[in-house]
Amino acid sequence: MKSLFPSRRKPPVQIPTDTQDLFAHLPTELIILVLEQLNTSSDIISALHVCRNWRDILLSPEIWPSIADRLAPGLTTHIRERNCSVNLRAQAKVFQSALNLHHLYQSGFFSHARHHVVRVNDGSFTLSKQISVESGGVHSLAEVPGLDPLSEELHVTHLRLYSHGRIAWWPEAWHLPYFAVVDDLRARVRKMFLFPGQAELRGEDRRRGWKTALGEKLFVLGQGDAGVCVWHLERDEMKFVELPGRFDRCVVDGERLLFIGRRNAEVWLWEWAGEQGVREIDVAGDEPRYVPGPVRMGGQIVQGYPRPAPKWGLRFQDTDVKVDFILHPNDWRVIFVVTWDEVDLVVSEFYEGCMRARMVCPREHLAYQGMVRSRTDNAVHYLRTDRCDGRGGYVLMTAWVGEEPMCDAGHRGSIVSVCFNVHTSEFSALVHHASYQRTPAAHLWDGLLAVRVAGEDQNGLKPVVALLKPCNADEGNEATSQPGNPMPVRLIKQPSNTITPAEGNMTFVSEDGEIRPRAQSLYGMAHAFEAGGDAREAGTDAMKAEWLSGDDKTLVYVAGRDYTVWMFGENGIPKEKKEVRLWKERFKNAIASTGRGTRA
């Protein structure tokens, strides 16, 4: 202790008996002992607002890393690797920002919510013309051959992808799969893309085999032998990538792309700023389950039709081994190969093309038991890696595993999410309790699982997104929500003079589950958010895409042409000048309110 904060150590003093600020006279060592007892983000945020001395101690390089690892394993490594070029004080600010976002998400403090119905003529977005027409940019709808903006209701519109505050959709997915729109939900800017080589295609070749991907910086659109166009969303530039063959899967992270070849499961890596072009990485020689052969994309089946959701997975056609990939978020030299052959769940780490480590999930681990139990609903569950937190965690699969108890709490009905952290190289599993007929559309972030349920008020049936807490068998104090129970719901419309979102009351309703899997009961519901659209329409159209996605700043619910977005943190503030000042005051109050009553 004596080595910590030598400049802050205070000599013994006579404490006045009439003072009320006793903490100001405590030695630094005792203050550190007090702060070590804090074990939740809410407690830490409260302590940060007690006084400047406490804030300086908590954000010091000697203290905040241990707090970060205690609250969220892997967070310290993630912050230091991603912000290695900045000083220690700046890294502490990143930690504080991550702490605030985590607290807002866990508390349901969304700053802004909006319901959209996608339309090519949408005045709420400003059309960007920064990308030239020669590079595939679209400056006017008249430039898109075959598109009739006046008959938009007859178009087959698909919302397919979300990433880092942007959503990608296709106004006419069947006849014009080479024309896409990317909307920036935070900046309210729209960019439209038309594949430059589509005019050379003929007949069915114009419609079949198009692949796409969306990341923080890159948008990808390509088709077989026609090649791949990659647009940089920040630089407003386009590069054409010629691959050695057709691909079935594209993984995006930063300015890197990983393509998986269809014919023989080849792995091709490409970087925006790279000078080597497309590089092939041999993973088959080191990973015995990665046997070269044809691969195909697959997904869950609903009444004989493939479910039009974005979370399809990849499998080897000959061996039926499920496979997917992770690009390390901080180290461009590292990729992870995830395989599941119904016997072992394996993650292999490759460093500059050579296998460096191989992690096999123990069979006694809850994650492995969840993989085995995922076959309960007679559905084939594919691996599909998605980020599930802001500290290197990825969810490999989420599945409803039946009514039989899955954990020590003994609750019936469980949804298991199998996760892997690239910083700690550890498997984990989260169990959320709900009764379904099969696996629903779900999104996992920071331990909370978002699922779509139905609520009913005086205006009829409405879609609701419920956030479920992970099971903690030691607590056992969460109530179970049954059909007919009242359900507090946070509304889309939020008064500008309140700290927290406005709340209304609905009744939890169990819908007909023949088309869509709907909840029969929920356990441990943290929050429920009102969504836009018609719950009855979304539940009866089997081919209407319904999915959830998001990150630490955004939650998105999609149902056909409709989507609702909730934003957390300062990036979600409205851009109108009159509202900015009011929102900033509400944001400060929401953060500071956790410290009320603890200020020394």
CA distance 468 to 477: 14
Q: What pLDDT is stored for residue 589 in this prediction?
A: 58
Q: Which pLDDT belongs to residue 203?
A: 61
Of the candidates 39, 103, 28, 26, which has an alpha carbon nearest to the alpha carbon of residue 71?
39
Is the pLDDT at 475 greater than 70? The verdict is no
Cα–Cα distance measured from residue 513 to residue 397, given in angstroms and rounded to the nearest whole number: 22
- Asked if 83 and 90 touch (Cβ cutoff 8 Å), the reply is yes
Question: Between residues 277 and 219, which one has the greater pLDDT?
Answer: 219
The predicted structure's pLDDT at residue 583? 44
Residue 415 in contact with residue 434, Cβ under 8 Å? yes
Q: Beta partners for 489?
A: 504
**pLDDT tens per residue across span 35-85:** 777 777 888 888 887 778 888 888 888 888 888 888 888 888 888 877 666
Is residue 161 within 8 A of residue 212, CB to CB? The reply is yes
Identity at 25, one-letter amino acid code: H
Dump pLDDT digits (tens) for 358-413: 999 999 999 999 898 887 656 667 888 999 998 899 999 998 888 888 877 778 88
User: Taking Cα atoms as reference points, which of 134, 146, 118, 128 lies closest to residue 192?
Assistant: 128
Question: Which residues are 415's β-sheet partners?
Answer: 400, 432
The tokens describing 187, both together, are 């900046």
The DSSP result for 244-263, as a single string, is SS-EEEEEEETTEEEEEETT
Which of the residue ranges 420-434, 447-461, 557-571 would you say has the lowest mean pLDDT? 557-571
Residue 286: which residues within 8 A CB-CB, separation 6 or more?
348, 350, 354, 355
Give the 3-state secondary structure of residue 540: helix
Can you give the C-alpha Rg of the chain in angstroms?
A: 25
Q: What pLDDT, on a 0 to 100 scale, did the predictor assign at position 304?
A: 38
User: Percentage of the chain surpassing pLDDT 90?
Assistant: 32
pLDDT of residue 577: 45
Indicate the pLDDT class of residue 21, thresholds 50, 70 and 90.
Answer: low
Q: What is the pLDDT of residues 414-427, one digit of tens each?
A: 899 999 999 999 99
In the prediction, which pLDDT does 301 show? 43
pLDDT in tens, 518-568: 788 888 899 999 998 765 555 445 456 789 999 988 999 999 889 999 998
